Structure formats: structure tokens, C-alpha cells
Structure 1
């Protein structure tokens, strides 16, 4: 039980530290990132840009990214949040006004992070250059989720793990289906 108590204490300490980050750039950038990532708009837009600007590989990367994002969202929001109820970080840990705009759903895991990591990891496997471009807003989404008080760092880490697993499964699915057919 000590390990879980230590994790909770570390979560609270890291949340407080990240929420107290007073960088003017962060104060301007992170709310914009959160707004763009809401309802996965950011990743749909990235897929549209890749598809319009590129060829077959870019379209494949966009489609793979969207599939991984969808799977990660399904697992994080429709499965994990229903199985594990965790309260959001308490308002006293968050010193700024962003704390009022938090969802009522379970904090665990971060669905925004799961979608961002799933999309980016799947895109990276097909088009590493586009993956590198997507990695910047992906990291910003993860930081923003803790900075705004919507999630603890462990929620974000769990969301990232779900996103990576979703990307891996989407990339492996055609091979797995072909093996079953042969």
C-alpha cells in the first residue's frame, strides 16, 4: 500500500509544481493547445493537412493516425473511465483560473493524451517527419492536461501508454488478420 500512497503523493507534488508554472508563453500557448485538442480537432486538422499536402504515404499516415486515435479514445474514455473512478486534482493545487473549466468525468486516464499519443505514434511509424511535427503539440497537450488541473501526471502517463498500445495494435492489425486467413 505504501507504493500507491507514494504515487499519490508524487502525483500531487508534480501537479502542484506544473500548475504553478508561470511562464508567459505557457499561459498563452497551453489554453490554445487545449482548445485545439478539444474533441480531437487538432488531430483531424493534422490528418487533413497531411492528406492534402502529401501523397500515398501521407494519406496512409493520416488514416493510420486517425484509427489509432479512435482506438485510444475508445479504450480510455469508454472502457477505462467506466472501470476506474478517480477524482480530478483538487482546486487548491491549481493556483490559476483554468481550474473552473474541468470535466466531471473520471480523471483516469487522460483521454486527450491517449488520443494525441495514439495519433502521433501511428503517424510516426508511417511518416517519421510528420510524426516529429505532431510530437510538439502532442507533448503540449500532455503538459496542458496537468497544468490546467484536469489530470494528475499518472493519468497522463496512463493515457500515453494507451495511445502507444492503440498505435501498435492498429499497425499490427493487418498482419494479425492476414495470419488468421492463411
Structure 2
């Protein structure tokens, strides 16, 4: 079964790499870059904090805490355990117009996808109306990592699951604080 999943992962990666999408290349490359170091999520958290009043500030703090916890778990623990090599963009013929700098960290799991979904899960707990828009952006960030050639689809899918679990856990823990201590 793992061999079948690996073949599916590689075949999907190659299909995306081999599909010409000139109108998508630049926007997805830019989105991928904006999501580096969670800049995108920090910016959205700032907007939520400013526009959302006290509940927005609590949501922003919780969401950024989820991203921080996620980054620690994914980048310090899971990537070191996974040690999956990054895709070979040259062999896959990923268009140069799509490419972002190739990270030096292992490929599995995708830290960008994990952070995106940790943020969304934390926001969804208290601001479900906002979460729908942010979730769509998280899906685009995840896809952009495959589109730019720096991740296999499986890295992104697993990163999304991990980030969701961490985001929901952090949001649950934040919501369990005694009343009056929010």
C-alpha cells in the first residue's frame, strides 16, 4: 500500500509539474513566498485583532500560538524524523516561472501547509465566518507548494492534517481557561 501511495504521490506531482498554467504561475509563486515564515498568517492575525474587537484579539493570539506550536512540532521534530528528500524540479521540468527558492529542510511534512491549517483550525473555533475565507487561502497555500515544485502532494496533505490537529488542540486548550481569565 505504501508503494502505491508513493507512486500516486509522484505521478500527481509530475502531472502538476507538466501542466502549463502560465496565468497561475506568478500568483501562486507570490502566495508561496508570502506564506514563508508565516508572514501571511501574522498579517491576517493582525487584521483579525484590529477589526475583531476583544474576541478578535483572543482569536489572533490563539491562532498565532497554534502556528508557533505547529512550527515547533513540524520543523523541530517531524521533519527530522521524516527526512524525505525534496522533489527534483529539474527532472520534473517544473517551469522556472513557478519556482521559489528550494528549502534546505526535509520535504515531509509541509510546514507551510501545517501552519496554514493550524491557523485556520484555531480561527474556526471562535470565528467560523472568517475561517471559511482563511481556509480557502490555506488550500491555495498548500497547493502552491506543489505548484512551485518544492513539495510532493502527500507532504501537503499530511501537513494539513497535522496542522489541523495542532490548531484544534491549541484552540480547545485556550477555550478551556477558567471564566474571567480570557
Question: What's the TM-score once normalised by structure 1's chain length?
Answer: 0.89
> Per the alignment, do residues 81 and 14 of structure 1 end up closer, same or farther by CA in structure 2, a change over 3 Å counting?
same
Map 1:60-75 → 2, pairs under 5 A? 60-75=58-73
User: Cα deviation per residue 1:138-171 (whole Å; 9 max; x = unaligned)?
Assistant: 1111001111111111111111111111112112
> Per the alignment, do residues 143 and 100 of structure 1 end up closer, same or farther by CA in structure 2, a change over 3 Å counting?
closer
Displacement of 1:90 after TM fit?
A: 1.6
Matched, 1:159 2:162: no
Aligned to 1:12: 10
Displacement of 1:41 after TM fit?
A: 0.4
> Per the alignment, do residues 85 and 124 of structure 1 end up closer, same or farther by CA in structure 2, a change over 3 Å counting?
same
The 8 Å contact of residues 66 and 170 in structure 2, kept in 1 or not, is answered as: yes
Aligned to 2:126: 126
Aligned to 1:23: 21
Aligned to 1:81: 79
SS in 2 for 1:101: coil
User: Cα deviation per residue 1:18-52 (whole Å; 9 max; x = unaligned)?
Assistant: 22343333112101101110110000000001111
Aligned to 2:102: 102
Displacement of 1:102 after TM fit?
A: 0.9
Gaps of 5+ in 1: none
Distance in 2, Cα, partners of 1:155 & 1:86 = 9
The 8 Å contact of residues 118 and 166 in structure 1, kept in 2 or not, is answered as: yes
Displacement of 1:131 after TM fit?
A: 0.8
Give the 4+ runs in structure 1 shifted more than 6 A: 175-178
Aligned to 1:93: 92
Gaps of 5+ in 2: none
SS in 1 for 2:35: helix
RMSD between aligned residues: 1.8
Structure with the bigger percentage of helix: 1
The 8 Å contact of residues 33 and 137 in structure 1, kept in 2 or not, is answered as: no
User: How many pairs align?
Assistant: 176
Distance in 1, Cα, partners of 2:175 & 2:137 = 30
SS in 1 for 2:151: coil
